[in-house]
Amino acid sequence: MAESGPAQERLNVTVRIIARSMVAEVCSIYLRRDTGELELFATEGLNPDAVHQTRLKPGEGLVGEVARSAAPLNLSDAPTHPGFSYRPETGEDPFHAFLGVPLLRGGRTIGVLVVQNRASRAYTEEEVEDLQIIAMVLAELVAAGELIESAELRDVEIAPHRPERLKGLKFADGLAIGIAILHEAPVAPGRILADDPEAEMVRLQAAVAALRAQIDALLEGHERFAGAPYEVLETYRMFAHDRGWNRNLEEAVRSGLSAEAAVDRVRNEHRARFAQARDPYIRERLHDLEDLANRLLRILAGEKPGDRDLPDDTVLVARNLGPADLLEYPREKLRGLLLEEGSAASHAAIVARALQIPCVGRLTGLRDRLSEGDPVFVDGESGEAFLRPRPAAIESFRSRMAVREQARAEFDALRETKAVTVDGVRISLLMNAGLAVDLDNLATTGAEGIGLFRTEFQFMVSEDLPRLDRQTDLYRRVLDAAGDLPVTFRTLDLGGDKVLPYLEIEREENPALGWRAVRMGLDRPALLRLQLRALLAAAHGRELRVMFPLIATVDEYRAAREMVDVEVDWARRRGRPLPAILRVGAMVEAPSLLWHLDALLPLTDFISVGTNDLFQYTFAADRTNPRVSDRYDPLSPPALRCLAAIQQAAQETGTPVSVCGEMAGRPLEAMTLIALGFTRLSSPPAGIGPVKRMVLSCDREAARRGVSNLLTSSSGSVRTQLESLARKLNVAV
């Protein structure tokens, strides 16, 4: 393959080698043209004059069947198969045994590799597997232009060119349109053994020093990433200075490996150690180590950061990405980020949100479905990617971006306007947050406070349990940034899909219904009491609002509230500063509480409805699972009756109540909540502007009458009726 020479000559050598290796009389390669036809490109054993002359129509013959099914076809007597097509120019009459496997690229067949024998026989499973492996390598070589120059392939369809739409998960909000640029990881080292181990040790140490200098340079100027984003970068820096990692690298070089091979071996050892981990946060550490190893290999190869000439509208495409790699790309050219893997809590996603780069992840098969230079959309609103969109789609997407910009300008103009309905009902609009960088949105959105501050992010990005002073410092900075605005801290909501790498937790059959949230805090009281102690210390003469997540029984709330009282007594006895006002509440997320609100509410200072969990538990459908997430609509009679019951109970007992799920940030859903009597809504920052515009156009009493008529509906969803109601009342949803 590495030899020079005409493409046809190298293809001829290729089929000759495969035929000899497979002990076959015939080996042929067919490649798909953009017309869908399969052209014979090279053969050993058939008539050589048929090369580039024989073309099979889509689905024609056994080769066409392999291409159609994208699966191997193994026959002991090919001429008797109903799909057999006789092409006299190939001279294949005497051959009975047939094995064809597809050349797959991005889930599409770009060609077919065939071996044949005169004798009537069935190829073994091992032979089928061997040929599939060869076909996989051939497909990569053809698609990469390493086997044949692209110009020589002419109109062979080696790359996807049709528009595609991939559904993933939203990691960072926003819309972007640009050119796909592939973030390529370096290949495995070519030189394995060291000629001079001492010289390799010098190379390795110099590369590690350069790596550390690179990371230090990348982190300069990013101190503004307070909280989780900055801790992510600091953790990454710590990996580069980790003595164990460096010691393993040096030991590998002393064993006789080249510096590159040593990095590769240590990387593989880490892969083996972490590969079996189910915990996504442990796997995230693997991504950091992979990123460091890739960066070190690039340094050893003499590559420098910033060598690539990028377009001004770059959309970065990667399987996964380390936080430092993301920072290495010029922010002014980076429009969006598309990832095959990752999670919303991955380090790349956290940094992307801090940089306000739209990001969509969990796009299966993304890397194989596009080529560098393809136009792409990043839809951070719906969690989708659009590859090679048609001109009409491009125009539509640009219109969406323009509308988004126009709406943002409109929302900015409403920033200082109070949210009051047409009939004079005051609505409080607060925001959800979890990172210190989110606090900048208080001023830009006009939010009236933080209705939900998720405290677990600090724990998830740390290598060990954050100590009292670190927790206190974060909570103090949050309260300082909020000033006179209220902040409601939710205690640790861990477990389920949010597991700490430094806590040993047994695997559960159903973690979403298992040991999580307040249950973990009650069973590990030191963990919860440490957090409560930090919150009390951070408040220091100010109001402190604390609420406990996933309370399922009144006894759980009593036990959690008792821990607060114990910590208050502990601080008071030692003369420690305390909050001027302390309010303790519960999140209503477990359906069990719906029938015990009369016992719970008198014990609380406030409650908050977590609609995300409440409805997924009510309907027994995981909202993050695309196979079942559409099995219910929060705008359905059962869901609305749940909400009405909570609001009514809170009103009767005089308990302040808010809604802090995603419903609160969507105008139509927020209109429904206001109609049900809720006046305090906490949403993601992006939802505050649209909801405020809706509030200003809404007559609550008229909406209440319309919604009350729908509570007894027998429909599975009343979304359509609510949309009609909004149009009738001229509500801006």
User: E-assigned strands of 399-540?
Assistant: 428-433, 450-454, 487-490
Task: Report yes or no: 339 and 363 within 8 Å, Cβ to Cβ.
Answer: yes
What are the Cα distances from residue 196, in Å, to 177, 418, 529? Answer: 50, 73, 57
> Cβ neighbours of residue 104 under 8 Å, at least 6 residues apart?
70, 110, 135, 136, 139
Tokens (6 digits) for 169: 């998960």
> Cβ neighbours of residue 379 under 8 Å, at least 6 residues apart?
175, 358, 360, 385, 386
How far apart, in whole angstroms, are the C-alpha atoms of residue 599 and residue 597?
5
β-pairing verdict for 55-56 and 108-117: unpaired
Task: Report yes or no: 136 and 104 within 8 Å, Cβ to Cβ.
Answer: yes
Burial class (CB in 10 A: 0-12, 13-18, 19+), 424: exposed
Task: Please list the active-site residues.
Answer: 347, 660
- Cα–chain-centroid distance for residue 561? 36
What are the Cα distances from residue 520, in Å, to 70, 354, 463, 492, 525? Answer: 49, 29, 19, 9, 8
How far apart, in whole angstroms, are the C-alpha atoms of residue 549 and residue 613?
10
What are the Cα distances from residue 504, in Å, to 49, 282, 524, 527? Answer: 68, 12, 12, 13
Tokens (6 digits) for 558: 């009593």
Count Cβ atoms below 10 Å from residue 38 Cβ, excluding itself.
26
Order across the sheet with 108-117: list the strands: 55-56, 38-44, 26-32, 108-117, 97-105, 73-75
> Cβ neighbours of residue 275 under 8 Å, at least 6 residues apart?
286
Nearest 5°: the CA angle 349, 354, 356 is 90
Dihedral angle computed from the Cα positions of residues 328, 334, 337 and 342, in that order, rounded to the nearest 10 degrees: 20
Closest Cα partner for 285 from 295, 271, 299, 300?
271
Tokens (6 digits) for 563: 């821990």
DSSP state of 257: B
**Which residue's structure tokens are 């596009």?**
370
Task: Report yes or no: 441 and 412 within 8 Å, Cβ to Cβ.
Answer: no
Order across the sheet with 384-387: list the strands: 164-167, 384-387, 375-379, 175-182, 314-318, 334-339, 359-361, 169-172
Tokens (6 digits) for 586: 């519960």
β-pairing verdict for 175-182 and 450-454: unpaired
One-letter amino acid identity for 689?
Answer: G
Dihedral angle computed from the Cα positions of residues 153, 156, 159 and 161, in that order, rounded to the nearest 10 degrees: 130
DSSP state of 67: H
Count Cβ atoms below 10 Å from residue 724 Cβ, excluding itself.
12
> Cβ neighbours of residue 401 under 8 Å, at least 6 residues apart?
175, 177
Q: What is the DSSP string of 163-189?
A: -EEEE-EEEE--EEEEEEEE-PPPPPP
